[in-house]
Amino acid sequence: MKSIQKFDISKVEESLNVFFCQIDAYDEAKFLSYEKLFNSLLDQQLKEAKDRLQDAQVKASKEASKVQSTMTKLEHTEKEIVDLKEQRTSLSATLKRQKQLDHGAQAKVYEIEEDIAALEHTTLLNDAIVGDLESLRANLEVLKKDLKSLNPFA
């Protein structure tokens, strides 16, 4: 114990103080280094996140534009469908009227064809009758001559 009492504790304290100061300096340097590294990594991650955000915003903008374009096309197509349905209704009504007119025209054509056939038949009969009448007239003339040639007193 006597040797411990003779030992100068102040040198140990001084050495420990220097050691702890060096440890503090080392810790401070290490902390600053870690803080710098952490800030650097954080800045890099923030930059990457901002880049991803910008890419996502560009993609979202493109998709929104596509959606708007598709909606516009859909609205235009729906309007075309409505217009085509109206046109179909109009054409159906027109077709119905045209069929009625066609039916009436066909009936009129049939009636006229019958009239023509009747007239042609009548004309043929008239020609036959005229021929018969002329033949009868000729016979009548012959009979008249024969009658004149007959002597009523003979």
Sign of the C-alpha dihedral computed for residues 147, 148, 153 and 154 taken in this order: negative
Q: Say what percent of the chain tops pLDDT 70.
A: 90
Q: pLDDT by residue (tens digit) across 9-30?
A: 888 888 889 988 999 898 888 8
Does the CA dihedral 97-101-106-110 come out positive or negative? positive
Q: Is 10 domain-assigned?
A: no
Structure tokens of 25? 């300096």
Residue 125 is predicted with a pLDDT of 65
- Is a pLDDT exceeding 50 seen at residue 1? no
Is 23 inside any structural domain? no
CA distance 149 to 138: 16
Q: Is residue 106 part of a domain?
A: yes
Q: Kindly state whether residue 27 falls inside one of the protein's structural domains.
A: no
Residue type at position 35: E
Question: Does 4 reside within a domain?
Answer: no
1 lies in some domain: no
Query: Is the pLDDT score of 7 beyond 80?
Result: no
Residue 16 lies in a domain: no
Task: Give residue 116's domain range.
Answer: 32-149
Is 47 contained in some domain? yes
- Overall domain count for the chain: 1
- Answer whether residue 150 shows pLDDT above 90: no
Structure tokens at 10: 């102040």
pLDDT, greater one: 44 or 112: 44
Judge whether residue 47 has pLDDT over 50: yes
